[in-house]
């Protein structure tokens, strides 16, 4: 007797280009339309056979005495129709995904509706992306729901796109969650004319406020002294450094956007920092990924993602209150912060028909700068102190260099006289890889990536983590090793694969501010304290928490005055 499996294999083998591999639970087939038809027939016939068995058993055993046999047969016909219709819709959806994926780079086969979300565990985990790259190469495609994303893995693939095709790769895909939160305003998730105007304003304003000059640097030094006082007040006892670091970093960006700092016991500011952190974490959460994949559905169901909209409203109200204060009390002829400069820009361009400078964009620009300027810098500094705990010999070597070279408070220019400290500073950023896979781009024109034609508007993810851990450019990519940035004579040495802030037209707007801030904070702390584990603690968790940034697990630290 010939089995159904044999009949199916015999039927399919007659079609060139079609290959059916029958496994225990799934059917894998090389793409061709006849094969799709056969798959559909298989599914339908299998469903019908199963239903017939169930139907006959149910009719024989469960039919009530008052019900006619025809009524039951009609009910089962409806069930068959609905099931076949459902399977057909799923199959059609899957066919559409496969059809649209034909010109894209290869990648793991997506499931109907959810794509590769299950394979990815609903997040862009670096280890999973590395596994996919080992199988499919440096350019591959993953599916978030029904949306394909082309991933670039390793320095060469990322550099070919972001540097060689900088203009073509200047787009930002606006995912459902970020789009709903930002509402098409600001710098971070906008495109085209509005993005160019807002980003140009941001760059010029940061320069006017003294980015790279001693004016802004003096504010950072002032905040570093406050940070030292916060650590010192704990008298060397175990403490969670997260809050004091977050407060210090947030106060630097507050000075930039609001023109002043906040005290540590300001409840309003504490709520601002809390809301900022919640938004950032929410964007990288599984709920955020689900919202990106199914925005219509997630907008209507409860969950932690809904709380983020309330936090966003609080941030907007906070900024509008600051805006009102500036309008009533600040001399527009003497701008002192981002809000002052933006208000002047609104007045200057009010008669221009294509202006994008208005109060709504002002609020979102301030929020963008605050979010971007707080979370990544705070997280990097937390990793820095954690690495000093794990590597006390490196901490001691940095302190010896600081003692030998510096006689006054550190400034950013001192890095040129501190080769080992500078190497450690760069290695912290490389090894921590706080941005994870990075922020996706989109191409504003048709392009070719690694031989694959990529249509305009495709979401492209330059995997920055794979660049910072590319074994072709780092001797020990998975170890904390400051020698990555030192030559044989102990001089600081740059590395082209050091791209923690990305590259191209969408490079991080606040890169220089973040570098100055982190360097001054870290060197000031290491010059003042020795950081140790609490008594009785011999190990610390160096694994990361996967969110929109890679955060360290909470840890206790003792800041012992030197």
* Among 2-16, 59-73, 285-299, the least confident range: 2-16
Question: Residue 261's closest CA among 247, 272, 275?
Answer: 247
Residue 483 confidence (pLDDT) above 50: yes
- 24 vs 3, residue with greater confidence: 3
Residue 121 confidence (pLDDT) above 70: yes
Residue 6 confidence (pLDDT) above 90: no
Express as a percent the part of the chain with pLDDT over 90: 55
Reported pTM: 0.81
CA distances from 558 to 230, 403, 533 (A): 12, 21, 6
Confidence of residue 518 (pLDDT cuts 50, 70, 90): very high
How many Cα neighbours within 13 Å face the side chain of 481?
12
| Integer Cα distance of 44 and 8 in angstroms | 13
Residue 53 confidence (pLDDT) above 80: no
Annotated binding-site ranges: 508
Q: What's the rounded mean pLDDT across residues 498-518?
A: 92
Model pLDDT for residues 324-372, shown as the tens digit of each residue: 999 988 887 888 899 999 999 999 999 999 999 999 999 999 999 988 8
| Integer Cα distance of 527 and 398 in angstroms | 9
Residue 522 confidence (pLDDT) above 60: yes
Model pLDDT for residues 23-44, shown as the tens digit of each residue: 333 333 333 334 434 444 444 4
Q: What's the rounded mean pLDDT across residues 93-119?
A: 76
Handedness of CA 487, 490, 491, 494 (dihedral sign): positive
Backbone angles phi, psi at 531, to 5 degrees: -100, 130
Query: Which residue blocks in 415-510 are alpha helix, DSSP H?
Result: 419-432, 464-468
Pick the CATH number of 160-561 from 3.50.50.60, 3.30.2010.10, 1.20.58.1610, 1.10.630.10: 1.10.630.10
Residue spans per domain, the chain: 1-100, 160-561
How is the chain split among helix, strand and coil, in percent rounded to 5? Answer: 55, 10, 35
Express as a percent the part of the chain with pLDDT over 70: 83
> So what's the pLDDT on residue 35?
43
Give one DSSP letter per residue of 195-261, joined into a string: HHHHHHHHHHHHHHTTTTSHHHHHHHHHHHHHHHHHHHTTTT--B--HHHHHHHHHHHHHHHHTSS-
> So what's the pLDDT on residue 3?
47
Query: What six digits make up the tokens of 267?
Result: 């409840």
Confidence of residue 13 (pLDDT cuts 50, 70, 90): very low
Are 170 and 187 a contacting pair, CB within 8 Å?
no
| Integer Cα distance of 459 and 240 in angstroms | 39
Residue 152 confidence (pLDDT) above 80: yes
| Integer Cα distance of 285 and 530 in angstroms | 35
441: left (phi over 0), alpha (psi -120 to 50) or beta: beta
> So what's the pLDDT on residue 93?
62
Model pLDDT for residues 397-453, shown as the tens digit of each residue: 999 999 999 988 999 999 999 999 999 999 999 999 998 888 899 999 999 998 999
Confidence of residue 17 (pLDDT cuts 50, 70, 90): very low
Q: How many CB atoms lie within 10 A of CB 295?
A: 16
> So what's the pLDDT on residue 464?
95
> So what's the pLDDT on residue 8?
38
Annotated binding-site ranges for heme: 508
> So what's the pLDDT on residue 175?
75
> So what's the pLDDT on residue 99?
60
| Integer Cα distance of 559 and 525 in angstroms | 9
- 281 vs 513, residue with greater confidence: 513
- State the chain's mean pLDDT as an integer: 84
Are 295 and 305 a contacting pair, CB within 8 Å?
no
Question: Residue 410's closest CA among 552, 539, 544, 228?
Answer: 228
| Integer Cα distance of 499 and 469 in angstroms | 11
């Amino acid at each position: 007797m010939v089995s159904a499996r044999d009949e199916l294999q015999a039927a399919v083998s007659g079609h060139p280009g079609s290959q059916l591999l029958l496994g225990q639970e799934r059917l894998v087939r090389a793409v061709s339309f006849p094969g799709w038809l056969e798959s559909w027939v298989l599914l339908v016939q299998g469903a019908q056979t199963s239903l017939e068995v169930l139907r006959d058993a149910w009719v024989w055993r469960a039919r009530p005495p008052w019900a006619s046999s025809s009524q039951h047969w009609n009910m089962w016909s409806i069930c068959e129709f609905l099931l076949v219709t459902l399977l057909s819709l799923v199959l059609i959806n899957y066919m559409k995904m496969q059809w649209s994926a034909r010109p894209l780079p290869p990648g793991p086969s997506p499931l109907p509706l959810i794509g590769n979300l299950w394979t990815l565990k609903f997040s862009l985990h670096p280890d999973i992306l590395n596994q996919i790259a080992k199988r499919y190469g440096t350019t591959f495609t993953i599916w978030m729901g029904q949306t394909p994303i082309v991933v670039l893995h390793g320095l060469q693939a990322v550099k070919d796109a972001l540097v060689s095709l900088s203009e073509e790769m200047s787009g930002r895909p606006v995912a459902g969650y970020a789009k709903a939160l930002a509402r098409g305003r600001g710098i971070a998730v906008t495109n085209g004319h509005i993005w160019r105007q807002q980003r140009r304003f941001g760059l010029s304003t940061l320069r006017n406020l003294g980015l790279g000059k001693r004016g802004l640097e003096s504010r950072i030094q002032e905040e570093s002294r406050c940070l030292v006082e916060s650590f010192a007040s704990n008298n060397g006892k175990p403490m969670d450094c997260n809050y004091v670091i977050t407060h210090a970093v947030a106060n630097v960006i507050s000075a930039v956007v609001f023109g002043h700092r906040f005290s540590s016991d300001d409840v309003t500011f504490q709520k601002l920092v809390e809301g900022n952190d919640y938004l950032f974490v929410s964007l990288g959460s599984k709920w955020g990924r689900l919202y990106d994949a199914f925005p219509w559905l997630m907008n209507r169901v409860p969950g932690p993602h809904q709380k983020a909209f309330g936090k966003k409203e609080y941030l907007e109200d906070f900024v509008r209150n600051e805006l009102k204060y500036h309008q009533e009390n600040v001399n527009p002829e003497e701008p002192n912060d981002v809000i002052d400069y933006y208000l002047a820009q609104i007045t200057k361009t009010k008669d221009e028909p294509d202006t994008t400078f208005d109060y709504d964009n002002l609020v979102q620009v301030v929020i963008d700068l605050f979010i971007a300027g707080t979370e990544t810098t705070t997280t990097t500094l937390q990793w820095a102190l954690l690495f000093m705990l794990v590597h006390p010999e490196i901490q001691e070597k940095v302190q010896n260099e600081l003692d030998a070279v510096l006689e006054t408070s550190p400034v950013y220019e001192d890095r040129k006289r501190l080769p080992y400290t500078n190497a450690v500073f760069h290695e912290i950023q490389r090894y921590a890889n706080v941005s994870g896979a990075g922020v996706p781009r989109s191409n504003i024109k048709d392009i070719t990536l690694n031989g694959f034609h990529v249509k305009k508007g495709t979401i492209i993810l330059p995997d920055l983590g794979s660049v910072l851990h590319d074994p072709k450019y780092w001797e020990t990519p998975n170890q904390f090793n400051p020698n990555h940035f030192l030559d044989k004579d102990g001089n600081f040495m740059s590395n082209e694969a050091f791209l923690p802030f990305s590259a191209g037209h969408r490079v991080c707007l606040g890169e220089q501010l973040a570098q100055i801030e982190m360097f001054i904070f870290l060197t000031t702390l290491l010059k003042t304290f020795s950081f140790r584990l609490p008594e009785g603690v011999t190990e610390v968790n160096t694994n990361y928490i996967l969110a929109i940034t890679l955060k360290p697990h909470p840890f206790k630290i003792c800041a012992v005055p030197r």
